Amino acid sequence: EDQVTQSPEALRLQEGESSSLNCSYTVSGLRGLFWYRQDPGKGPEFLFTLYSAGEEKEKERLKATLTKKESFLHITAPKPEDSATYLCAVQAPGQAGTALIFGKGTTLSVSS
């Protein structure tokens, strides 16, 4: 069964304290792995798409990497405005309507 597991569930950081979020997946024939940011009461905001192992994408303080079994979202010198829930999702052949399979997310809190 296709599955996405994110860890940790919650992460508290001090401003400037770098860390990484993990997304482990089991899927047959990965088409793409996606990272989203979701603020409370809002819809997910698209961040990155990764297609194959070894690929990396960067945006401001965020860097996403992909291996054959997991993806990491590295946050360098985070600021309070980076506080949000970060969602990982995968798309695989055979999923209904090219739907995304989501993890439960990691809720990041950055304090100043």
- Which positions lie near other proteins, rule CB under 8 A? 4, 31-32, 34, 36, 41-46, 49, 87, 89, 91, 96-105
Smallest gap from residue 96 Cβ to other proteins (A):
5
Which residues on neighbouring strands pair with residue 41, listed in sequence order?
none
Q: Which residues contact 80 (CB under 8 A, 6 or more apart)?
A: 15, 110, 111, 112
How far, in Å, are 31, 88, 97 from residue 70 at the CA level?
Answer: 14, 10, 24
CB nearer to other proteins: pick between 54 and 97: 97
Q: Which residues contact 8 (CB under 8 A, 6 or more apart)?
A: 21, 22, 106
CB nearer to other proteins: pick between 11 and 101: 101
Smallest gap from residue 99 Cβ to other proteins (A):
4
CB nearer to other proteins: pick between 13 and 88: 88
Smallest gap from residue 68 Cβ to other proteins (A):
19
